[in-house]
Structure 1
Amino acid sequence: MTLVSITTRNIKSNFKSYWSYFLSLSFSIFSVYLFMSILYSKYIQDELGEMKKFMILFNIGAVMIIMFSAFFIWYSNSFFVKSRKKEFATYMLLGMSKNQVARVNFYENTFITLAALITGISLGLIFSKFFIMLLFYMIKTSAVVPFQWNIRAIIQSLKIFVVIYIVISLHGSIIVRKSSLIDLFNASKKVEKGLKVSAITLLFAVVSIVCLYFGYSMAIKQLGSNLLKAPIVVLLVVVGTILFFTSATTFLIYANKKNEKSLFKGTKLISTSQLYFRYRGNVGTLSIIAISITVALCALVTCVGSYTKTEENSRYMRPFSIEYFRTKDENKTFNSILDKHKEVSVKFSDSIDIVKVTAKDPLVNKDSGFYVIGESEFNKLSKQQKLDRRANLKDENDCYFIQLQSFATNEAALNKVVNINIKDKSYNLKVTASDIKPFLALDHFTQTFVVKDNVYDSIKLNSDEANISKLDGYMLEDDFKAESFINDLSKNLPKESGMVTFYEHYKDGLKLLGMMAFIGLFIGALFIMATGSIIYFKMVMEAREDKEKFITLSKIGVSNKEIKTAVAKELGLLFGAPFVVAFANSLPATIALSKMLSLKLMNSFLIIVSIYALIYCIYYFVTLNTYTKVVRDSNLSD
């Protein structure tokens, strides 16, 4: 019998041993191919038009998916090789050399990888159209998507997985060649040492809580207004998470085992003992999973939350439906085109004069250009835009400062004095209030001072005509019926008018944020499948290793129901702890993101967490049933 025939017989007769690894490999190939087919789809690039430059987002997403898939396959392969060690030892006992056993492992890996490539790419071909249609739906595009053979995506996927295949094949071969016969036989009989707790463990447990507390506190109070704090917050949360699993949870399990009053109630002794002897080997996995889920939740909240708030964000950046600088006869052109579009009606309009001045920036203390607007005009605009802000200037020299900040108001500007010199007049303005929301879309990268009306009139009177900008803003009854109207305006208004519209910003934002949300959902799904599978593989492996323990428990009268209850408690901690910690990590991050982006993201966060929890519960029950089935079968065979 040849080595190839031995390999094929093994796979055919005992495919359930290969099933988990085959599925994880197929899923990874399916995910990578799908993303590659989107990345190289000419239909998507044609539909995005000028926005196709943002396809770089898919390049970044592809790199992340490839890296995570490689890690996931490596992890799955490690479990697969470990589960086969005893069988490899049997082959060696029957006379095979290490070289021959390594070749059997190589052939197995080759056949499984080939089958997974065929399965993954076939599924990718079947579902690629659906996922492209989903992307088009998210960016509100009605283009027809035909079925396509994306040869470039297939070739790229094959290149990636050939490299991964070579690496894991070498890894498996090295393990077989370096392991002795006794090591291979005893791979599943490794004695786990119980948890050790000392004063240092308690100290690190306290440090973990302190790190997490300060990380959460800094995220909630400071991160929203100061992005430079992000590295500190990330470091505190990551260190706190790792120490929580290595020390705090260890201490709690140890204390629970030492509590003899409750230890002997029901099946607690079994579940606690299992955790006591098994937890040390799971610390690294749980820490990685908790951090991975945190990253996935934060990415999903940012991408999906921003996508659901596209209209709100566009309204923030484009307070009027249409704005332009009045340079010639723009108003006449506007009204002429408006008369032709009966589907469009104007709710209100404003003509605004703003004055361009030069002064020292109260934040960076260097000369810069600013706009100046009167208090009554600013308050009228705020009222029309249904904002709760008002400039309540008490003294003649007070001013309200509209900053150019990405996330939150920099309060360092408050009480600073700004000196404006125009010809022979000097104005010393004191900043008494400030915020960052633009009240105009045109040239909103210029910061603005809101001053008393008489001060504004004086500044305007003494300024050159060239420094006075005249703007017109229109609010439409329904922006989403104005596409044709806006297209006509764009063709007929002069370029120097610099027209900007809410609808165009909304469409572009929908494409950009839709792509980000799609990538976030895709990567989030991959993360949850991978992290859930990692726990599943690890626990099924432990179930096989612990067969003899459960056989002994059955012999002394412990029922299968009681064993299942004990296992359920153990799995509850291993599945629940990373998720709860990730939830705790993500909540302050969501609060900070809400402040940064000026968006209400909490509802999106709760929905995403609920979906994540539901999927994790499914993984929990699947793992529990598989674990108890392994235990039950071992009892029956005995």
Structure 2
Amino acid sequence: MMLFKLSAKNIAKSIKGYAIYFFTLILGVAIFYVFNAIDSQTVMLDVSKNTSDIIKLMTGMLSGVSVFVSIILGCLIIYASIFLIKRRNKEFGVYLTLGMGKRKISLVLFFETLIIGIISLIVGLVIGTAFSQLMSRVVANMFEADMRKFEFVFSRSACIKTLIYFGIMYVFVMVFNTWTIGKCKLIDLLNGRKRNEKIKNKNSIVCIMVFIISCVVLGRAYYLVTVGVNELESSMDILIPIMLGIVGTLLFFWSVSGLILKIVMAKKSTYYKGLNSFVLRQISSKINTTVVQMTIICIMLFVTICVLSSAFSIKNSLSENIQKMCPADVQITVGKEVKNDVTNNKQVKVKSILESAGCKIEDEFSEYVEYDTYKTQKLTLRDVVGNSYNEIAKTYKGITLNSQEDIMKISDYNKVAKLYGQKTFKLKENQYLVVANFQGMVQLRNIALKNGEKIKLGGKEYSPLYRECKYGFVNLSGNEENSGIIVLPDSALKNAEVYDSTLVGKYNTAPKDEIIKNNDRITKIMGKKTYNMISINTKMDVAEACIGIGAIVTFIGMYLGSIFLISSAAILALKELSESTDNKERYLMLRKLGTDDKMINRALFKQIGIYFMFPLIIAIIHSVVGLKFATTILAIFGKVGLLGSIILTAVVLVLIYGGYFLITYFCSRNIIKER
């Protein structure tokens, strides 16, 4: 009982020193609960079955991500414990001098961890519960759900999961603390603050050489994810620029850390201004550990910026694409009717199927279009690119061009384009054009079109009307996925065999409930028939899929991004608080030399600012290149506008990263004022 009281008094006495620790734990608990409570929060939402399935998939994925998040938070808590123990070395040394055994000191730490854990769990769960109600409204708004049945919900499953995960973390912390105290020596505890890390003066020539190497390595990594992205032949090749980026960043910090002091020292007016010399020496005093930590923190901040910006951007792009890429309500495609005698197979039309089932097309649709699509082994992508193959192969390494091309009559394509509100075209009898909107394939095809490659079909040769692809599509979709349709004069396909037939239309009715009924009725009619190929694609299904993908990416991105951001900021904050604790005597010496508190506080602000800004600036530079690569990868989701997402990410960075900076500064200021 006495040890428990001592632990409680220690926490109360050192509450300012525990501020970062408490802040990190509470944030971790709250975020963990919020993202694991989404399932319970959406129980009362009135959504369709497809949306419900998407939400279940999303919560299942978030549950899996939580395991990874718990590992990160566990490592962070252990790192924070190292800081707290280090700060109290002298206190533990005094306990040992007074006769308290290491076992009792371990019990004191056990009770302190227990008390801190209970308090952080309670406060974190309260904050998490409050924010989870807001999160449920975000989910409802994202899925366009009916909120009339919404009510306040406390997720018992999320609470239990949070208690279990954080309970396991605290057990590891307790075991770690016991092991740490057990291996400590009395002399190390009493003199721990007096032992300074030796400043290793690095050779300037070596630093310059390493700096040049780091720039070359980073330059190669930047090249591979921008101009040379086509050199990455497989998904595993992406590991090459990642590893180059990590190594280059480590070498950069190592070289710059050895050059900054010498560069500033060479400029006497700056070095001897105010307490600049003291600040620079303070930064250099922990140079060995700072290099590795700066690299880790920089990479984590880089991941945070890219993940958050990309996640927000995907969500916005998918939402915008729904109207643009789904200009009709339904698209029905059928292949040849299956007969026992395959020689009698014939192409059937969607309209005839619907009308034979008693469905009047004119009553069902305000506008509709039927069109045919053709394919032949005599016209593959390899045939279309022609003599440009070698040029394309050099740019797009490892690409295969054996797929059969989708072919349409110009009259059919123009009917669809008119229905969709797109541009129509005219072709001469010896001309063709390519319509596409998937940027990766547009760039590839433009190489062949620019070279004027001709195509042959049915013994006749056709030249390109345009030396580039024209924007267009026929399939309802949530993204720009049309890799290319060859549009030919009607006469070129007069005797060609139809591959499939499609009907695309806009319903007469507008209310959502009626559209659902229409979709169900058409699906039921088509389901009764047996065809070699059949697909029904509706605007409502596409919208739900887009919203689902956007929600999954957004929530996972927010979850991981916030944890990475908290972890990187907390590591920096704890490092700086440890520095302030170790250097109390130095600041006391400055006061004895006549330095006022204003100058000392300014010097402390500069020191902490450099630590926080240095990895952030490098991470931002990395992110400029990383986001350009992300834009290329995310082109499948349409035009990805990053400006709004970057602004939102910047706001999150300022709030969390800036918040940690301010807390660190004020806590450090209080530490160096302690007598």
TM-score, scaled relative to structure 2? 0.80
Question: Which position in structure 1 is the counterpart of 2:37?
Answer: 37
The separation in 1 between residues aligned to 2:613 and 2:270, in whole angstroms, is: 22
Matched, 1:337 2:364: yes
Question: Which position in structure 1 is the counterpart of 2:518?
Answer: 489
Cα deviation, residue 13, structure 1: 4.2
The structure-2 alpha-carbon separation of the partners of 1:46 and 1:333, relative to structure 1 and needing over 3 Å to count, comes to same
Cα deviation, residue 110, structure 1: 2.2
* 8 A Cα contact 1:298 1:590, kept in partner: yes
**Secondary structure at the residue paired with 1:186?**
helix
The structure-2 alpha-carbon separation of the partners of 1:232 and 1:434, relative to structure 1 and needing over 3 Å to count, comes to farther
Matched, 1:215 2:221: yes
Matched, 1:50 2:28: no
Cα deviation, residue 90, structure 1: 0.9
* 8 A Cα contact 2:46 2:145, kept in partner: no
Question: Which position in structure 2 is the counterpart of 1:473?
Answer: 504
**Secondary structure at the residue paired with 1:324?**
strand
Question: Which position in structure 2 is the counterpart of 1:450?
Answer: 486
**Secondary structure at the residue paired with 1:358?**
coil
Question: Which position in structure 2 is the counterpart of 1:343?
Answer: none
* 8 A Cα contact 1:359 1:419, kept in partner: no
Cα deviation, residue 441, structure 1: 1.2
The separation in 2 between residues aligned to 1:537 and 1:94, in whole angstroms, is: 29
Cα deviation, residue 509, structure 1: 1.0
Matched, 1:356 2:379: no
The separation in 2 between residues aligned to 1:554 and 1:13, in whole angstroms, is: 25
**Secondary structure at the residue paired with 2:280?**
helix
The separation in 2 between residues aligned to 1:109 and 1:620, in whole angstroms, is: 25
Cα deviation, residue 172, structure 1: 0.8
The structure-2 alpha-carbon separation of the partners of 1:469 and 1:411, relative to structure 1 and needing over 3 Å to count, comes to closer
Return 580-589 or 169-178, whichever deviates more: 580-589
The separation in 2 between residues aligned to 1:395 and 1:221, in whole angstroms, is: 39
The structure-2 alpha-carbon separation of the partners of 1:621 and 1:27, relative to structure 1 and needing over 3 Å to count, comes to closer
* 8 A Cα contact 1:351 1:473, kept in partner: yes
Cα deviation, residue 176, structure 1: 0.6
The separation in 2 between residues aligned to 1:203 and 1:395, in whole angstroms, is: 65
The structure-2 alpha-carbon separation of the partners of 1:439 and 1:94, relative to structure 1 and needing over 3 Å to count, comes to same
- CA offsets 1:486-510 (integer angstroms, 9 cap, x no match): 3232133232674423343123211
Question: Which position in structure 1 is the counterpart of 2:73?
Answer: 69
**Secondary structure at the residue paired with 2:199?**
coil
* 8 A Cα contact 2:45 2:145, kept in partner: no
Aligned with residue 113 of structure 1, among 111, 117, 125: 117
Cα deviation, residue 435, structure 1: 5.7
The structure-2 alpha-carbon separation of the partners of 1:43 and 1:582, relative to structure 1 and needing over 3 Å to count, comes to same
Cα deviation, residue 178, structure 1: 0.5
Return 570-579 or 373-382, whichever deviates more: 373-382
TM-score, scaled relative to structure 1? 0.85
The separation in 1 between residues aligned to 2:145 and 2:45, in whole angstroms, is: 12
Aligned with residue 592 of structure 1, among 629, 643, 664: 629
Question: Which position in structure 1 is the counterpart of 2:385?
Answer: none
**Secondary structure at the residue paired with 1:115?**
helix
The structure-2 alpha-carbon separation of the partners of 1:579 and 1:436, relative to structure 1 and needing over 3 Å to count, comes to farther
The separation in 1 between residues aligned to 2:296 and 2:587, in whole angstroms, is: 29
Matched, 1:312 2:320: yes
The separation in 2 between residues aligned to 1:506 and 1:97, in whole angstroms, is: 66
- CA offsets 1:454-494 (integer angstroms, 9 cap, x no match): xx5233x2223xx25443434689x9x55344323213323
Matched, 1:102 2:135: no
The separation in 2 between residues aligned to 1:365 and 1:258, in whole angstroms, is: 58
- Of all paired residues, the percent bearing the same amino acid is 20
The structure-2 alpha-carbon separation of the partners of 1:372 and 1:533, relative to structure 1 and needing over 3 Å to count, comes to same
Aligned with residue 172 of structure 2, among 150, 167, 172: 167
Question: Which position in structure 2 is the counterpart of 1:583?
Answer: 620
The separation in 1 between residues aligned to 2:99 and 2:325, in whole angstroms, is: 75
How do 1:236-315 residues align onto structure 2 when only pairs under 5 Å count? 236-315=244-323
- CA offsets 1:361-391 (integer angstroms, 9 cap, x no match): 4356676443212457547766875768x98
Aligned with residue 651 of structure 2, among 611, 625, 630: 611
Question: Which position in structure 2 is the counterpart of 1:90?
Answer: 94
* 8 A Cα contact 2:442 2:484, kept in partner: no
**Secondary structure at the residue paired with 1:354?**
strand
The structure-2 alpha-carbon separation of the partners of 1:294 and 1:366, relative to structure 1 and needing over 3 Å to count, comes to closer
Give the alignment's Cα RMSD to 1 decimal: 3.6
The separation in 2 between residues aligned to 1:46 and 1:196, in whole angstroms, is: 66
* 8 A Cα contact 1:358 1:420, kept in partner: no
The separation in 2 between residues aligned to 1:94 and 1:160, in whole angstroms, is: 37
Return 410-419 or 129-138, whichever deviates more: 410-419
Query: Which letter does structure 1 place at the counterpart of 2:351?
Result: K
The separation in 2 between residues aligned to 1:475 and 1:249, in whole angstroms, is: 65
How do 1:405-444 residues align onto structure 2 when only pairs under 5 Å count? 409-410=443-444, 414=448, 425-426=458-459, 439-441=473-475
**Secondary structure at the residue paired with 2:371?**
strand
* 8 A Cα contact 2:275 2:603, kept in partner: yes
* 8 A Cα contact 1:296 1:527, kept in partner: yes
Aligned with residue 210 of structure 2, among 204, 211, 223: 204
* 8 A Cα contact 1:371 1:448, kept in partner: yes
Query: Which letter does structure 2 place at the counterpart of 1:266?
Result: G
How do 1:363-378 residues align onto structure 2 when only pairs under 5 Å count? 368-375=403-410, 378=413
* 8 A Cα contact 1:591 1:602, kept in partner: no
* 8 A Cα contact 1:403 1:409, kept in partner: no
Cα deviation, residue 434, structure 1: 6.7
* 8 A Cα contact 2:42 2:136, kept in partner: no
Return 539-548 or 144-153, whichever deviates more: 144-153
Question: Which position in structure 1 is the counterpart of 2:346?
Answer: none
The separation in 2 between residues aligned to 1:333 and 1:249, in whole angstroms, is: 77
* 8 A Cα contact 1:402 1:447, kept in partner: yes
- CA offsets 1:393-446 (integer angstroms, 9 cap, x no match): 89937663759887874459837989877xxx4466788867697611169989
Cα deviation, residue 149, structure 1: 4.0
Aligned with residue 132 of structure 1, among 119, 133, 136: 136
Question: Which position in structure 1 is the counterpart of 2:188?
Answer: 183
Question: Which position in structure 1 is the counterpart of 2:345?
Answer: none
Cα deviation, residue 115, structure 1: 2.7
- CA offsets 1:172-218 (integer angstroms, 9 cap, x no match): 11111101001112222331222532233322211222222232233
Cα deviation, residue 74, structure 1: 1.8
- CA offsets 1:100-137 (integer angstroms, 9 cap, x no match): 22222222222222332333334334443332222222
The separation in 2 between residues aligned to 1:333 and 1:498, in whole angstroms, is: 20
**Secondary structure at the residue paired with 2:350?**
coil
Cα deviation, residue 541, structure 1: 1.9
* 8 A Cα contact 1:419 1:426, kept in partner: no
**Secondary structure at the residue paired with 2:405?**
strand
Return 225-234 or 560-569, whichever deviates more: 225-234
**Secondary structure at the residue paired with 2:331?**
strand
The separation in 2 between residues aligned to 1:527 and 1:508, in whole angstroms, is: 28
The separation in 2 between residues aligned to 1:565 and 1:629, in whole angstroms, is: 14
The separation in 2 between residues aligned to 1:49 and 1:418, in whole angstroms, is: 50
Cα deviation, residue 89, structure 1: 0.9
- CA offsets 1:215-243 (integer angstroms, 9 cap, x no match): 22332324489674532232222222222
The structure-2 alpha-carbon separation of the partners of 1:309 and 1:558, relative to structure 1 and needing over 3 Å to count, comes to same
Query: Which letter does structure 2 place at the counterpart of 1:463?
Result: A
Question: Which position in structure 2 is the counterpart of 1:540?
Answer: 577
Query: Which letter does structure 1 place at the counterpart of 2:407?
Result: V
The separation in 2 between residues aligned to 1:469 and 1:168, in whole angstroms, is: 64
Question: Which position in structure 2 is the counterpart of 1:529?
Answer: 566
Aligned with residue 199 of structure 2, among 194, 198, 210: 194
The separation in 2 between residues aligned to 1:287 and 1:383, in whole angstroms, is: 55
* 8 A Cα contact 2:373 2:408, kept in partner: yes
